[in-house]
């Protein structure tokens, strides 16, 4: 019996259409739009001016505080504008617009770095470089990695968990990365183990990616301390609390972090970015994006420069199919529909999903029939129907007492609700208000 | 037979006597003194319990009025100056006279002038859609049209105009309690002074984008051209972030700014028709339609 988390969870259709498609390199875009707020935390501070010439990998926005991150230029070119454009949040946000220099050859060199196994840097230097090179969690939450790795003295840490679950339907970015860059990821894991002074790591992969499990089993057969664990297929196993529970049977306390139970969780994409930063001095300027959808002609996985407009990606896969209703940034469960195709790819864009008319519409919300489905699927053991009602009526304090803040926004409740109630919309709204009230209190 | 009747009557009577004695002692022992003025002041207040004064209800506002020495910054927007005068007489304190205010909606982005570029599916409340994204149009400052303000109004002073998709304030019913101002996630609704004839001039736009972008999203958007600022004789108009704002205190309602606005984003309400036709002919078209839609309601 394969491992999984015990509470709740759902089995949405997987639709991993692109799992056999190699990661292709996107042509370098003519113009990139780099938002200065691509991570959770304080937005970065712009350090370039209009008309400045920038090189690939040059810092163009400096970290604005501890929970923040540097942003590097994805292309060599000229800064043409510092303007506000609509980003994935749906609002106009400050952006650095860089026009690619077509004559500069460094833009078009396709460097295939050779595998480099020796780790030369000291643990402190590794952590510093992760900070300097703008590495953030590439699983979707974009939490700055150096903050996660900043383990205070006296905190017991014994295990590194590598998240290769990719439980979101449709997305195959992590899957392909594991297949194509397995050895590099393994070196990345060793780098982190070296930096954190721990000797145990577990790679969690869902059982629908048997090829990836196979590859890592072979790679780690001679490694001490690194295990590969196949997991049952269940959404939202990629949530870090669920993953830690599934792999190690440790319960992360509510409002706590995996670090409280001695674990740090990192996504395979992040591990690969760390590998490139440490071994090849390459900052986080590109990532793997799955561009998919049932009616998309050439759905595939791409290496995409941060700041590439999503319209470029859509052209690359053969344009918008007829009857497109929604374009979602991310997966179908947790992703968010974007407002127009000028929105740029950011560090958190793991997929672009094109949904057609018949899949996109939400049912008309009806009354709650008290079936309890939402309660039984909630992976955090909450009562979504209750939280929604409390938020709807404005009882935020009560909602806070009912642990609204522990909701991981996986959307399982809205997915199963037979009355099509917008449970997650209200819970998210409630969380926003509760957060505001709490900050006002302090 | 008679005995049992007698006993039960006696038992009940004695129980009643004992209970009354206990209740009497308790009520004396735990008596809480409450200033009788509070009840009297509460009687004067309009009993709307709307929270417009900043207190949760009329009772607690009365309590505040009685127990605060200086009540000059306390004000009941629903009762207005008349009620505050009565309260002041009752308490022997002085109150500051305030101009009555009324809610105005600073957005004219009707379906016609501000085309929809996306479609939103989800709970139709402004608070949630504002949290998710910038709205169905390309203007991220304007009205979302889901009517949170209408839902919170306790005085039925607002309704959604189905044609324009915008909320409309019925000036006579508006008590300026401020509930709609708090409910609007975009801060579109503002309390502005209402003079005797309810003449108002204000900028009906909050778009801070640069002119071209604003105009593209909405044809009656303020494009930040500063023409109104130049023409204003009282320096009542200030420009900030490509957006004009008319200070209601400094404004003398001379109406000079209205015809110079190239996008008709300055709204005037309840003024008599101009003697001469405005210099810019365009003024006729869209703003006129909008003002008309406000007018009949205010007169009603």
Indicate whether A276 and A391 sit together in one domain: no
Structure tokens at B132: 């998710």
Question: Among A253, A280, A307, where does a domain finish?
Answer: A280
Indicate whether A275 and A155 sit together in one domain: yes
Mutate to test the interface with B, among A409, A414, A429 (most CBs of B within 10 A): A429
Residues of B in contact with A91 (CB under 8 A): 133-134, 140
CA torsion A73→A76→A78→A84, rounded to 10°?
-30
Domain hosting residue B60, numbered range:
36-91
CATH of the domain at B42: 1.10.15
Say if the Cβ atoms of B128 and A425 lie within 8 Å.
yes
What confidence score (pLDDT) does residue B271 get?
Answer: 86
- A84, A339, A429 ranked by CB distance to B131: nearest: A429
B168 at A interface, C-beta within 8 A: no
Residues of B in contact with A95 (CB under 8 A): none
The stretch B40-44 carries a mean pLDDT of 91
What confidence score (pLDDT) does residue A88 get?
Answer: 86
Say if the Cβ atoms of B131 and A428 lie within 8 Å.
yes
Which of A239-257 are b and which e, b meaning 16 or more Cβ less than 10 Å from the residue's Cβ? bbbbbbbbbbebebeeeee
Indicate whether A129 and A235 sit together in one domain: yes
Q: Is residue A4 part of a domain?
A: no
Question: Among B66, B91, B116, where does a domain finish?
Answer: B91
Say if the Cβ atoms of B134 and A91 lie within 8 Å.
yes
B73 burial (CB, 10 Å; 0-12 / 13-18 / 19+) is: exposed
Mean pLDDT for all residues in chain A = 92
For residue B138, what is the nearest residue in chain A, using CA coordinates? A339
- A339, A426, A429 ranked by CB distance to B134: nearest: A339
Indicate whether B226 and B79 sit together in one domain: no
Q: Is residue B253 part of a domain?
A: yes
pLDDT tens for A140-193 read 889 999 999 988 888 889 999 999 999 999 999 999 999 999 999 999 999 999
Structure tokens at A62: 């400096």
Number of Cβ atoms within 10 Å of the Cβ of B185 = 16
What confidence score (pLDDT) does residue B278 get?
Answer: 52
Q: A285: closest CA among A78, A52, A59, A27?
A: A59
Say if the Cβ atoms of B123 and A365 lie within 8 Å.
yes
Q: Of residues A140 and B179, which shows the higher confidence score? A: B179
Contact A88, A334 (CB under 8 A): no
Q: Is residue B25 part of a domain?
A: no
Q: Is residue A172 part of a domain?
A: yes
B127 at A interface, C-beta within 8 A: yes
pLDDT tens for A213-227 read 999 999 999 888 999
Q: What ipTM, to 2 d.p.?
A: 0.85
SS (H, E, C) A279-312: HHCCCCCEEEEEEECCCCCCCEEEEEECCCEHHH
Contact B188, B267 (CB under 8 A): no
Indicate whether B274 and B227 sit together in one domain: yes
Q: Is residue B6 part of a domain?
A: no
Please determine, for residue B289, whether its predicted confidence score (pLDDT) is greater than 50: no
Indicate whether B73 and B111 sit together in one domain: no
Q: Is residue A7 part of a domain?
A: no
Looking at residue A221, the DSSP 8-state letter turns out to be T
- A86, A90, A365 ranked by CB distance to B132: nearest: A90
Contact A300, A189 (CB under 8 A): no
What confidence score (pLDDT) does residue B286 get?
Answer: 45
d(C-alpha A139, C-alpha A284), whole Å: 14
What is the model's pTM?
A: 0.86
Packing angle between helix B36-44 and helix B58-67, nearest 10 degrees? 120
Q: Is residue B15 part of a domain?
A: no
CA distance B141 to chain A (A): 10
Q: Is residue B5 part of a domain?
A: no
Indicate whether A245 and A377 sit together in one domain: no
Indicate whether A152 and A258 sit together in one domain: yes
Please determine, for residue B281, whether its predicted confidence score (pLDDT) is greater than 80: no
Say if the Cβ atoms of A90 and B133 lie within 8 Å.
yes
Q: Is residue B96 part of a domain?
A: no
Contact A290, A350 (CB under 8 A): yes
Question: Among A280, A302, A320, where does a domain finish?
Answer: A280
Mutate to test the interface with B, among A86, A90, A91 (most CBs of B within 10 A): A90
Our count of domains for chain A comes to: 2
Say if the Cβ atoms of B132 and A339 lie within 8 Å.
no
Indicate whether B119 and B257 sit together in one domain: yes
The stretch B199-220 carries a mean pLDDT of 91
Domain hosting residue A175, numbered range:
123-280
Indicate whether A266 and A162 sit together in one domain: yes
Indicate whether A378 and A272 sit together in one domain: no
Say if the Cβ atoms of A90 and B128 lie within 8 Å.
no
B24 at A interface, C-beta within 8 A: no
Residues of A in contact with B209 (CB under 8 A): 84, 92
Indicate whether B72 and B137 sit together in one domain: no
Q: Is residue A136 part of a domain?
A: yes
Indicate whether B65 and B148 sit together in one domain: no
Question: Among A245, A280, A315, where does a domain finish?
Answer: A280
The position carrying tokens 């000797």 is A199
CA distance B144 to chain A (A): 14
Q: Is residue B115 part of a domain?
A: yes
Q: List the alpha helices (DSSP H) in chain B.
A: 2-29, 36-44, 58-67, 80-91, 126-132, 148-152, 179-183, 211-217, 227-231, 257-260, 286-299
Chain B residues 230-289 with CB within 8 Å of chain A: none
Contact A295, A23 (CB under 8 A): no
Structure tokens at A269: 């994409």
Say if the Cβ atoms of B128 and A91 lie within 8 Å.
no
The stretch A27-34 carries a mean pLDDT of 93
Indicate whether A266 and A397 sit together in one domain: no
Which of A410-435 are b and which e, b meaning 16 or more Cβ less than 10 Å from the residue's Cβ? bbbbbbbbebebbbbbbbbbbbebbe
pLDDT tens for B224-260 read 999 999 999 989 999 998 999 999 889 988 889 999 9
For residue A427, what is the nearest residue in chain B, using CA coordinates? B128
Please determine, for residue B282, whether its predicted confidence score (pLDDT) is greater than 90: no
Q: Of A259-263, B52-56, B132-136, where does the model show the most confidence?
A: A259-263
Contact A382, A434 (CB under 8 A): no
CA distance A91 to chain B (A): 5
Please determine, for residue B293, whether its predicted confidence score (pLDDT) is greater than 50: no
Mutate to test the interface with B, among A88, A324, A337 (most CBs of B within 10 A): A337
Please determine, for residue A345, whether its predicted confidence score (pLDDT) is greater than 90: yes
CA distance B81 to chain A (A): 32
Indicate whether B167 and B260 sit together in one domain: yes
The position carrying tokens 């994204």 is B133
Indicate whether B127 and B211 sit together in one domain: yes
d(C-alpha B115, C-alpha A189), whole Å: 51
- B117, B122, B209 ranked by CB distance to A422: nearest: B122
- The distance from CA A238 to its chain's CA centroid, rounded to whole angstroms, is 10
What confidence score (pLDDT) does residue B291 get?
Answer: 42
CA distance A89 to chain B (A): 6
Indicate whether B129 and B70 sit together in one domain: no
- A246-250, B55-59, B94-98, B124-128: least confident range: B94-98
What confidence score (pLDDT) does residue B111 get?
Answer: 86
Say if the Cβ atoms of A89 and B133 lie within 8 Å.
yes
Our count of domains for chain B comes to: 2
d(C-alpha A255, C-alpha A270), whole Å: 23
CATH of the domain at B204: 3.30.70.20
For residue B121, what is the nearest residue in chain A, using CA coordinates? A362
- B122, B128, B134 ranked by CB distance to A86: nearest: B134
State yes or no: cis peptide before B250, omega within 30 of 0: no
> Is residue B153 very low, low, confident or very high in pLDDT (cuts 50, 70, 90)?
very high
Indicate whether B66 and B210 sit together in one domain: no
Please determine, for residue A92, whether its predicted confidence score (pLDDT) is greater than 70: yes
CA distance B178 to chain A (A): 18
Indicate whether B163 and B123 sit together in one domain: yes
B122 at A interface, C-beta within 8 A: yes
What confidence score (pLDDT) does residue A172 get?
Answer: 95
Say if the Cβ atoms of B133 and A339 lie within 8 Å.
yes
Say if the Cβ atoms of B140 and A91 lie within 8 Å.
yes
Residues of B in contact with A92 (CB under 8 A): 134, 140, 209
Say if the Cβ atoms of A429 and B140 lie within 8 Å.
no
Q: Is residue A183 part of a domain?
A: yes
CATH of the domain at A206: 3.40.50.11540
Looking at residue A42, the DSSP 8-state letter turns out to be S
Q: Of residues A110 and A130, which shows the higher confidence score? A: A130
Q: Is residue A268 part of a domain?
A: yes
The position carrying tokens 């183990």 is A193
B146 at A interface, C-beta within 8 A: no
Mean pLDDT for all residues in chain B = 86
For residue B128, what is the nearest residue in chain A, using CA coordinates? A429
The stretch A400-415 carries a mean pLDDT of 94
Question: Among B91, B118, B136, where does a domain finish?
Answer: B91
Q: Is residue B22 part of a domain?
A: no
pLDDT tens for B85-130 read 999 888 888 888 888 889 999 999 898 899 988 888 888 899 999 9
Indicate whether B83 and B121 sit together in one domain: no
């Amino acid at each position: 019996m394969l491992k999984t988390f015990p509470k709740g969870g759902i089995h949405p259709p997987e639709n991993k259409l692109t799992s056999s498609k190699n990661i292709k390199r996107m042509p370098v875009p003519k113009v990139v739009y780099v938002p200065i707020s691509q991570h959770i935390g304080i937005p970065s501070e712009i350090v370039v001016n209009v008309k400045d010439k920038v090189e690939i990998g040059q810092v163009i926005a400096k970290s604005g505080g501890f929970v923040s991150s540097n942003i590097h230029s994805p292309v060599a070119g000229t800064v043409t504008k510092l303007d506000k454009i609509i980003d994935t949040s749906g609002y106009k946000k400050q952006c650095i617009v860089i026009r690619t220099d077509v004559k500069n050859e460094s833009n078009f060199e396709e460097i295939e770095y050779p595998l480099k196994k020796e780790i030369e840097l000291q643990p402190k230097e590794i952590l510093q470089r992760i900070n300097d090179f703008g590495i953030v969690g590439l699983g979707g939450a974009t939490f700055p990695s150096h903050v996660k790795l900043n383990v205070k003295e006296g905190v017991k840490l014994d295990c590194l968990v590598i998240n290769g679950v990719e439980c979101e339907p449709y997305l195959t970015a992590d899957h392909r990365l594991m297949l194509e860059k397995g050895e590099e990821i393994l070196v990345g894991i060793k780098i982190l183990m070296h930096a954190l002074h721990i000797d145990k790591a577990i790679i969690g992969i869902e059982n629908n990616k048997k090829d990836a499990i196979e590859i890592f089993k072979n790679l780690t057969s001679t490694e001490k301390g690194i295990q590969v664990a196949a997991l049952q297929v269940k959404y939202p196993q990629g949530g870090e609390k669920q993953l830690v529970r599934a792999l190690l049977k440790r319960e992360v306390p509510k409002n706590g972090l995996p670090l409280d139970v001695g674990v740090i969780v990192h996504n395979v994409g992040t591990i690969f970015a760390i590998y490139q930063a440490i071994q090849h001095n390459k900052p986080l300027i590109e990532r793997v994006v799955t561009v998919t959808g049932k009616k998309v002609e050439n759905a595939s996985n791409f290496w995409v420069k941060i700041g590439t407009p999503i319209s470029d990606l859509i052209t690359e896969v053969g344009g918008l199919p007829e009857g497109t209703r929604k374009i979602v940034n991310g997966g179908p469960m947790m992703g968010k529909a974007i407002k127009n195709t000028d929105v740029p790819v950011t560090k958190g864009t793991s997929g672009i999903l094109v949904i057609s008319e018949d899949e996109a519409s939400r049912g008309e919300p009806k009354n709650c029939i008290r079936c309890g489905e939402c309660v039984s699927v909630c992976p955090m053991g909450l009562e979504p129907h209750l939280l929604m009602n409390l938020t709807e009526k404005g009882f935020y304090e009560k909602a806070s007492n009912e642990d609204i803040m522990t909701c991981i926004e996986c959307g399982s409740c809205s997915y199963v609700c037979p009355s099509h109630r917008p449970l997650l919309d209200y819970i998210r709204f409630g969380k926003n208000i509760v957060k505001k009230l709490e900050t006002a209190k302090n | 037979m008679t005995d049992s009747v007698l006993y039960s009557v006696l038992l009940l009577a004695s129980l009643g006597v004992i209970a009354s004695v206990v209740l009497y002692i308790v009520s004396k022992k735990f008596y809480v003194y409450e200033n009788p003025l509070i009840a009297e002041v509460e009687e004067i207040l309009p009993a709307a319990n709307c929270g417009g004064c900043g207190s949760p209800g009329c009772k607690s506002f009365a309590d505040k009025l009685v127990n605060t020495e200086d009540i000059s910054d306390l004000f009941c927007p629903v009762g207005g100056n008349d009620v505050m005068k009565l309260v002041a007489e009752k308490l022997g304190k002085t109150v500051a006279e305030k101009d009555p205010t009324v809610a105005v909606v600073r957005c004219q982005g009707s379906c016609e002038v501000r085309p929809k570029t996306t479609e939103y599916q989800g709970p139709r409340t402004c608070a949630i859609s504002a949290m998710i994204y910038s709205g169905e149009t390309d203007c991220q400052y304007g009205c979302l049209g889901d009517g949170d303000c209408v839902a919170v109004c306790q005085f039925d002073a607002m309704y959604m105009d189905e044609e324009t998709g915008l909320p409309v304030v019925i000036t006579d019913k508006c008590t300026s309690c401020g509930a709609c101002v708090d409910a609007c996630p975009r801060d579109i609704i503002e309390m502005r002074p209402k003079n005797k004839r309810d003449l108002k001039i204000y900028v009906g736009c909050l778009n801070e984008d640069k002119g071209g972008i604003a105009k593209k999203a909405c044809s009656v958007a303020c494009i930040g051209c500063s023409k109104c600022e130049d023409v204003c004789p009282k320096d009542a108009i200030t420009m900030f972030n490509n957006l004009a704002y008319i200070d209601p205190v400094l404004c003398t309602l001379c109406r000079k700014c209205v015809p110079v606005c190239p996008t008709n984003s300055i709204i005037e309400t309840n003024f008599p028709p101009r003697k001469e036709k405005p210099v810019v002919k365009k003024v006729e078209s869209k703003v006129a339609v909008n003002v008309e839609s406000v007018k009949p309601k205010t007169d009603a």
